[in-house]
Amino acid sequence: MDVFSEIEKLLKEKELPYEVMHHQPCHTSEEAAKIRGTRIEQGAKALIFRSKGKYLMAVIAGDRKVDMKKLKQIINSKKLSLATPEQVLEITHCKIGSVPPFGNLFNIPTYADTSVLQNKKVWFNAGRHETSIGMPSKSWNKAVQPFIEEFHSDE
């Protein structure tokens, strides 16, 4: 599966605006913002979690951290852990740091923190460490249709 091509296909089918940026490889939200010339909070960070033997994606602004307690309450689970790098690769066909915020492409539920939609535009690595996509946050929301919840840490 070429994840970048799948994202482009989805966005073209839905006729949603986006732009592609090729750049040097980046692995963290801080690196990505610097390389892209964007603000860190514009980054849509996608994290894969495991709960009750199933996977889910949590998308949060690049400058925020997930409050595990809040996310557990949202998904109604007592146990929640980050997926291992091997599990992430198996589920998404992407290495950690390149996972795009499109759980729908991987048939896993997607939860978006309210912080993601506070920006007019979001940026994310698109299945590759050296390729990013930028698009209006409203268009991303239409493409993914995540559950919108508040699960960022206040610290």
Domains of the chain in start order, with CATH, are 3-149 (3.90.960.10)
Condensed to tens digits (0 to 9), the pLDDT of residues 68-96 reads: 999 999 999 999 999 999 999 999 999 99
pLDDT of res. 1: 80
pLDDT of residue 154 exceeding 90, the answer is no
Q: Annotate the chain with DSSP letters as a single string.
A: --HHHHHHHHHHHTT---EEEE-S---SHHHHHHHHTS-GGGBEEEEEEEETTEEEEEEEETT--B-HHHHHHHHT-S--EEPPHHHHHHHHSS-TT---S-GGGGT--EEEETTGGGSSEEEEEEEETTEEEEEEHHHHHHHH-PEEE--B---
Average pLDDT over every residue of 101-113:
98
